[in-house]
Structure 1
Amino acid sequence: MEKETIGKCPICSNKITITKLHCEYCDTTIEGSFYLCKFCQLNSEEKNFLEIFIKNKGNLKEIEKEMGLSYPTIRNKLENIIESLGYKDESKSNKKDIASKLSSGEITTMEAIDLLKKDK
């Protein structure tokens, strides 16, 4: 039975380095430091979601039906995977920065509104 390679260390959750590759057919072994692709570092739930996403050609309404989850839950799962792959939603982080500055009194409500309008 084949086992899937884990992408993160089960102890500290950091990236795993593969140090040996072996071909069972010709008995060749290659040793070194090999890193897994970004997708290999996703957990099985995230990989399953991506498979469903691709199968449904990215149609979130169809994914919603297949998984029996709400649209916002599907969106959140997708956002989490995007972030796990190393892509940041700059507009999302910018909105958090504006909210933080507003909350701490660094900017006024009107300044926050103006910044959010510019962010669109």
Structure 2
Amino acid sequence: MKRQMLGRCPICTTHLDITRLHCPSCHTTIEGKFEPCKFCRLPLDQQEFVEVFIKCRGNIKEVEKELGISYPTVRGRLEAVIENLGYRPEPIPKTDPEVARKRKEILDALNNGEITAEEAVALLKKG
């Protein structure tokens, strides 16, 4: 069983510093201060969510099925990952019902594989 590198202190949850690297083949050891990737610093449950999200190619309906959770839960977990990676999720602007309906149609078409992500972006930018 492979052990996974910790990104956070198991006691206080502060980010851990990596200070030593070792090669098991030639026994070279390097000491210093190294930064883990952003994903390594995510809590384990968020790492697992990201893995499922990528495996499902970002298809939220597939993520719902795979994890047995609702659409709002998937969105909430995705927002939490985005924040933990250091990004601020953009608030969803309130729009009139007609614009919201058109956006939903575009996103449904993308989700159903009827259009590509690039086509969806272009349609959403048009308004």
Tell me the TM-score normalised to structure 2 length. Answer: 0.68
After TM superposition, list the pairs within 5 Å mapping 1:29-48 onto structure 2. Answer: 29-48=29-48
Distance 1:81 1:19 in 2: 26
Change (3 A) 1:58 1:90: closer
State the superposition RMSD in angstroms. 1.8
Structure 2: gaps (5+ residues): 95-127
C-alpha distance in 2 between matches for 1:60 and 1:49: 12
Kindly provide the CA deviation profile for residues 14-57 of structure 1, in whole angstroms up to 9, marking residues without a partner as x: 21111110000011000011111110001111111111101110
Superposition map of 1:53-64 within 5 A: 53-64=53-64
- Rounded to whole Å, the distance in 2 between the matches of 1:24 and 1:54 is 31
Identity among equivalent positions (%) equals: 53
Aligned to 1:108: none
**Per-residue deviation, 1:90:** 4.1
What is the 5 A alignment of 1:68-107? 68-91=68-91
Change (3 A) 1:62 1:40: same
1:91 is paired with a residue of what secondary structure?
coil
Scaled by the length of structure 1, the TM-score of the pair is 0.72
Aligned residues: 94
Query: Deviations for 1:71-115, whole angstroms, at most 9, x for unmatched residues?
Result: 0001000000000000012436x99xxxxxxxxxxxxxxxxxxxx
**Residue of structure 1 equivalent to 2:115:** none
Letter in 2 for 1:79: E
